[in-house]
Amino acid sequence: MPQAQDIEPRLLRAFVAVAAELHFTRAAARLFVAQQALSRDIRRLERELGAELFVRTTRQVTLTTEGERLLPYARRVLDAHDELAAAFADQDRPLLVDISAPVGTGYRVLTETRRAAPRLEFVARYFSGLTGAATELLAGRLDISYGRIAGLAPALRADLAHQPVRYERMAVLLRDDHPLAPLPEVPLDALAGETLYAGAGNPATAEWTDLGARLFEGRGIVMAAPFPEINGQEEFVRVVRKQRWSVLASTEFLAIPGMVVRPLVDPVPLSPVSLVWRRGLKHPGLDAMRAAAAELAAAEGWLKMPPGSWLPDTDRSLMPDNT
């Protein structure tokens, strides 16, 4: 590959996005640019390098040998570029933190971080899932989120960093007149034949729906049919009560009148939660939040897995093994 000087970071960013997605339309959406503009940037980069980087057919996009050779160098250049930008960024600005809901792991960590670092400003956001928040992280419209990192596409994970924080115990949200509601804990086998809502139809919570599908498989539990995205706590309560759903949940969940949360057992299914941020982000608020998350996890045993617990192998590979 001929040497090239002064390659614009934008061109390398376009190349890395296409290499991650292996799809021009998805890469353009990820970068929030028109597909035609992305294609022009790739052609320009190929001209400047004097090498073809992708093999394009009507069915697929693949990296050439020269493209595979360029990829690690491009990533290192962009990492350095992002670190340079972060070093001179306004580190006094408020940090935008997605905690999904005013309960649970993200909320607990945010509360502790505000206590430990009162001079820093953290502004809470309430996205409905990590999949939806990931695009906001990559676009710079959000700084931190929480959720199941293994549920994101590898192309998204490549530009995000994460710190495992907690194995949340999964639960079921039941009407208080449901036959299983009197039980203090609900065995998974008791849900055979039940239909549970797990966010199907909401693309922003795809990582949660995927976790539910893995848990239900082979147990006779039915996933509720896709339903339009539900925005906001009040609307969620209204829809759940009207639909008379049972809901796959975590043990720390919103209080819903007329419904009860019951932990699941035999085995104990776990929902892994990581603190997630875009690679290259430098901010004292991020450091403070990571420290608070680590302290809470250690103090409360958040990363200890109960004996005989359930967790998909894809998640185990990205979380610590503290059985």
pLDDT of residue 252: 92
More confident residue, 6 or 137: 137
pLDDT of residue 278: 92
pLDDT of residue 34: 87
pLDDT of residue 91: 57
Q: Per-residue pLDDT for 238 more than 60? A: yes
Q: Is 217 helix (H, G, I), strand (E, B) or coil?
A: coil
pLDDT of residue 158: 85
Domain at 169-265: CATH architecture: 3-Layer(aba) Sandwich (3.40)
Give the whole-angstrom CA distance, residue 269 versus residue 127. 24
Q: Per-residue pLDDT for 76 more than 90? A: no
Q: Per-residue pLDDT for 4 more than 80? A: no
Q: Per-residue pLDDT for 243 more than 90? A: no
Topology classification of domain 9-87 = Arc Repressor Mutant, subunit A (1.10.10)
Q: Per-residue pLDDT for 311 more than 90? A: yes
pLDDT of residue 3: 52
Across 63-90, average pLDDT: 79
Q: Per-residue pLDDT for 248 more than 90? A: yes
Tokens 């001079």 — which residue?
119
Across 106-129, average pLDDT: 94
Across 19-35, average pLDDT: 86
Domain ranges of the chain: 9-87, 95-167+271-316, 169-265
Q: Per-residue pLDDT for 26 more than 90? A: no
Q: Per-residue pLDDT for 323 more than 70? A: no
Q: Per-residue pLDDT for 89 more than 60? A: no
Give the whole-angstrom CA distance, residue 256 versus residue 275. 27
- Return mean pLDDT, the chain: 90
Give the whole-angstrom CA distance, residue 211 versus residue 266. 17
Angle of helix 65-87 relative to helix 9-21, nearest 10 degrees, comes to 120
Choose which CATH entry (3.30.70.1140, 3.40.190.10, 3.30.450.20, 3.20.20.30) describes domain 95-167+271-316. Answer: 3.40.190.10
Q: Are 42 and 54 in contact (CB under 8 A)?
A: yes
Q: Are 41 and 10 in contact (CB under 8 A)?
A: yes
pLDDT of residue 322: 57
Same fold? 9-87, 95-167+271-316: no
How would residue 277 be classed by pLDDT, with cut points 50, 70 and 90? very high
23-32, 47-56, 200-209, 257-266: least confidently modelled range: 23-32
Q: Are 196 and 172 in contact (CB under 8 A)?
A: yes
Burial tier of 54 (Cβ tally within 10 Å: 0-12, 13-18, 19+)? middle
Q: Are 276 and 146 in contact (CB under 8 A)?
A: yes
Across 96-113, average pLDDT: 94
> In the beta sheet, which residues pair with residue 195?
222
